[in-house]
Structure 1
Amino acid sequence: MENKKIKWGILSTGWIAHKFATALQVVDNCEICAVGSRNLESALSFASEFNIPKAYGSYEELVKDIDVDVIYIGTPHNLHLENTLLALNHNKNVLCEKPMGVNEREVNIMIDKAKEKNLFLMEALWSRFLPNIIKAKDLITEGQIGEVNFLKASFCIRSSGAQQYRHFNIDLCGGTTLDIGIYNIFLSLFLLGKPDKMVAVAGLNDQGCDTNSSYVFNYGKEKLAVMYSSFLADLPVVAEIHGTKGKIILEHMWFCPGNVKLISDTGVEQIFDFEINGNGYELEAQEVVHCVLNEQKQSDKWSLEHSLELVRAMDEIRHQCGIVYPNHDL
């Protein structure tokens, strides 16, 4: 078991696929054996960059490769269902980039197919596996900041893409909620659990994509999580969790590898630093390798039910804001 290598196939050759392939270089018990693209030239270039032995000019050829154990899907949101089903129907385990589906219906279709085929399936939400996020959770569980009463999280970047770019294109399931707001929503669910109530508002472009979005989760009488995401503004991408005995601060680009600052109500400050071997994506990949080697069909750390909880929250936010994806929200 310890010497067995899980063989990966990379489906797509975009930016996120490059990040993931880079991370796989430091993951134990695995290797990349194939890459597939809709363009053979792109696949060959990617294969050359990462020393991958096989390159395919279609996704269909990739999933038919008998040597591949797991397919990593790094395509845009609107293709996740189609690409995941393609891989599962060819008996490949799947790690699908977040969001796994653009709505609960799509996620359930993927889950049902994985169960039917008795295959592993996981959403690639890398932040769940980062040590700074895990440490924040541990500090709360240990009571280091007392009773949590307020969480604030933001993810705002000014996007320079044109209106047909995926950030702003309704046909590509654009908008901030699924693309970057998902991290805020994940953090609140991960640290505080399922809220009693959600309230959301958004600014929509002419196509109906949310270019600005704000959402509040209510956790009872006084506890709130206040979150916002934007493609129109550059703001510090930070998260803070406040309690009766202190606060936890996840500094700029909090959803990435970083440190954790713990500040007591008396002003005593502690900073927790963490060493990782790569760019951070290797941690979710290592979880997949562990699960597949142990014949698990889902991760205990980021289960299929977790993915369902996340997409249900995003569905509710989109419903309240009037965000509809014409080819998906049937």
Structure 2
Amino acid sequence: MSEVRWGIIGTGTIANAFAADFQHAKTGQLKAVASRSKESADAFAEKFDIELSMVDYFSLINSHEVDVIYIAVPHVHHYDLTKACILAGKHVLCEKPFTLNESQAKELFDLAHAREVFVMEAMWTRFNPAIEQALEWVEEGEIGTLQTLQASFGFAQEQDPAHRLFNRNLGGGALLDVGIYPIFLAQLFFGKPDFIQNQAIVGDTDVDVLDQMLFGWDTGQLAMLDASIITSHPNRAVLSGTSGYIELEKSWHQAKQITLCKTDGSERSVEFDFPGLGFQFEIEEVNRCLDEGLIQSPNHQWADTLGLMATMDEIRSDIGVFYPGEPEPCDHDCDIEGHHHEHNHHKH
């Protein structure tokens, strides 16, 4: 297959990180960018030496110059833009969370299946070499039976109601933005949880700002997970087994080092010397899948994304966080029996 030609929709922080890492990918060509602002599109194209700069998303979606489109805009636009790409026959890598909820994701995957178009949620952490190493060690029994997992992802963001993280109309909140990472890690190793307990703080803008989650599985495993956009966290991940543990140091979601500690006192660290943040690994995965004629990645399947969305739907339903257009089962301050959640009272 000839070189895969990429387009990017959006010019924000994550689009910049992705484009910067694109140069480290072994395959693919970054060909076009689209933004709603001409200045932003032109500046981005110049910064990353991109040939085509477009002011209208649909010019890019319908362009014959690109094969696959990376969607890097606020969560609330993921569904519409991914759908438009699929209908135009364009392959898609859409930033996480793939959509706002499971039903939207299911509809898009059904459409991609019908149209035979490759689609993947941009869970770039899945393709990080340190995560691959953790999977390998667990599969090889290096820590015995994996029993528990702890992971956090949190940072203190200035609480600006207009910022996408705090803006309900843009799909804001800690869960969808950063909570998805520890949930992904837990489900990567254990699958979808059989039970979920959670505590959340919902802020003045009706989105969750801090989540603490305890997942359990009928097979006896537990995961303790934290997500926050108002408090600073060490952002470590620890996988504990019957004969040792694996630790991913802070910013585990983009780790370059992983340590294996065994009960006999032995310790082994592996460092991965890759440039950039590691977005190149998911880019290479998409290119590989396209080269092989696949419509989903065997390493981050549609079922994996649906599992993530279903878990987050359940948590949001419990804490009473809903986005425009979603059905609300009850008033915001209603209590769901058997669950406790803290709730700041709203000033309506």
2:235 is aligned with 1:237: yes
Give aligned-pair identity as a percent.
36
1:279 aligned partner:
277
Give the counterpart letter for 1:322 in structure 2.
G
Q: Give yes or no for contact 1:80–1:101 (8 Å, CA) kept in 2.
A: yes
Residue among 177, 196, 199 paired with 1:198 = 196
Please state if 1:167 is matched with 2:165: yes
What's the CA shift string for 1:155-212, capped at 9, x where partnerless? 1100114012111111111111100010000000001222221112211012321111
The reply on whether 1:149 has 2:147 as its aligned counterpart is: yes
What's the secondary structure of 2:253's corresponding residue? coil
The residue type paired with residue 212 of structure 1 is: L
- 2: distance between equivalents of 1:206 and 1:160? 14
After the TM superposition, which segments of 4 or more aligned residues of structure 1 sit over 6 Å from their partners?
none
- Counterpart AA for 1:270: R
* 1:214-239 deviation digits (Å, cap 9, x = unpaired): 11111237421011111121120111
Larger displacement relative to structure 2 (280-289 or 193-202): 193-202
Q: Read off the aligned partner of 2:293 and give its amino acid letter.
A: E
Aligned length: 328
Q: 1:30 — aligned with what?
A: 28
Q: Which residue of 2 aligns with 1:296?
A: 294
What is the TM-score normalised by the length of structure 1? 0.96
**CA drift at 1:326:** 2.3
Matched letter for residue 38 of structure 1: R
Question: CA, structure 1 residues 205+103, in 2 after alignment: closer, same or farther (shift >3 Å)?
Answer: same
> Does the 8 Å CA contact 2:69/2:92 hold for their aligned counterparts?
yes
After superposition, the CA RMSD in angstroms is: 1.4
Q: 2: CA distance between counterparts of 1:135 and 1:231?
A: 29
Residue in 1 that maps onto 2:314? 316
Asked if 1:306 is matched to 2:304, the reply is: yes
Alignment of 1:244-263 (within 5 A): 244-263=242-261
CA contact (8 A) 1:201 1:320 kept: no
- How far apart, in 1, do the equivalents of 2:255 and 2:28 lie? 22
Aligned to 1:68: 66
TM-score after normalising by structure 2 = 0.91
SS of residue matched to 2:252: coil
- Which deviates further from its counterpart, 306-315 or 319-328? 319-328
The whole-number CA distance in structure 1 between the counterparts of 2:231 and 2:291 is: 44
Question: For 2:240 and 2:27, how far apart are their aligned partners in 1?
Answer: 40
Look up the equivalent residue of 2:287 and give its one-letter code. Answer: V
The Cα of 1:329 is off from its aligned counterpart by 4.6
